[in-house]
Amino acid sequence: MNKKNKERYLFALDLDGTVLSNSAKGEMHPDTEEAIKQAVAEGHIICIITGRPWRSTKPIYEKLGLNTVVGNYNGAHIHNPKDEFFIPQIHYLNLNEMLYILGDKVVKKEISNIAIEGPGWVQLKKRDEALERVFGFSDSLKFTVGLKLDKIPLKPTGIVFDVKETTDVYALKTYLERRYGDLGEFSSWSKGEGLTPVFDITSVGVNKAKAVSLLMRYYGIDIDNTISIGDGYNDVSMFHVTNIAVAMGNSEPRIKRIATVVLKKTNKEGGVGHYIKKFLKDPNKEKEKSKRIRHSRNNREAEIT
């Protein structure tokens, strides 16, 4: 069948803990890389939506040969690096409000490190090899170690903070949302196996779901033909708007319960590649499975595949 006459599908993919088998090194499982490239070759839309900034997303984007819209900072920065006519969307934060949140005694006692950044600059409280590699801080035009609050612009694009090994991630995220939901959006995701989770704060109304909705309209993709794949709390919002919501085998139980498909395979085992290949063999079967699960409020469990 001619590519132009085939149905197109939109795959919204998270990176850390999902596409990447090793976040610190930016590595992908061969099956995942192969399946994504297959989907691209067949004319489907593959979009990365990640908590990472563009500078640490770029090597993966280029390795996969993508030319699509990217959502960085969980959708706070939406742009198309391959299309100069695409007008980027950037959502800024109010620095004073962010410092107010970070100074909350409940939040402050869980924080182990903080990074504040804007276009072309980053200030990191203290050196952290893992955090720096995942976010590519050293590639920023102006990277400073040590927070100099009197020299930070009032409109940063992102706040990132690491938490302690003992932190209850779900409890802290819930507290932030309930206490400061009018000031920002709060996400948590994995930097990789053996590493502490990272939290980020974006502008009110910014999340991965909003990015997916934009992508559906921009590429003219029907809701039934949308698939999101992720592993963390920052992926939950897009699980609610796509027809098929795929949770990785390495996801927490709370996240798996929201998905319509739960993989046995983890990011290290090429779970993304496994599902994309399975989906492309029989898209209608997979679409109908997820629609049935969404329409059945009595069945709260996702299919194990």
Residues marked as catalytic: 14
How many whole angstroms separate alpha carbon 227 and alpha carbon 244?
A: 5
The secondary structure element, H or E, covering residue 189 is strand 185-189
> Which residues, including other chains, have CB under 8 Å from residue 82's CB and lie 6 or more apart?
66, 67, 68
How many whole angstroms separate alpha carbon 135 and alpha carbon 160?
A: 10
DSSP assignment string, 23-53 = TTTTEE-HHHHHHHHHHHHTT-EEEEB-SS-
Query: Can you give the length of the chain in residues?
Result: 305
Instruction: Please report where in the chains the tokens 């049935």 appear, as a residue.
Output: 292
Bridge partners, residue 47, by sequence: 12
Whether 211 and 49 have beta carbons less than 8 Å apart is answered as: yes
41: left (phi > 0), else alpha (psi -120 to 50), else beta? alpha
Give the relative orientation of helices 271-281 and 30-41 as an angle to the nearest 10 degrees.
Answer: 40
Strands (E), 14-165: 20-22, 27-28, 45-48, 70-72, 77-79, 89-90, 111-118, 121-124, 142-145, 158-163
How many whole angstroms separate alpha carbon 302 and alpha carbon 289?
A: 10
Q: Please, what is the end-to-end C-alpha distance for the chain in angstroms?
A: 28
The b/e string for 150-172 (b: 16+ C-beta within 10 A; e otherwise) is eebeeebbbbbbbbeeebebeeb
Amino acid at 15: L
* Neighbour tally for 145: CB within 10 Å: 13
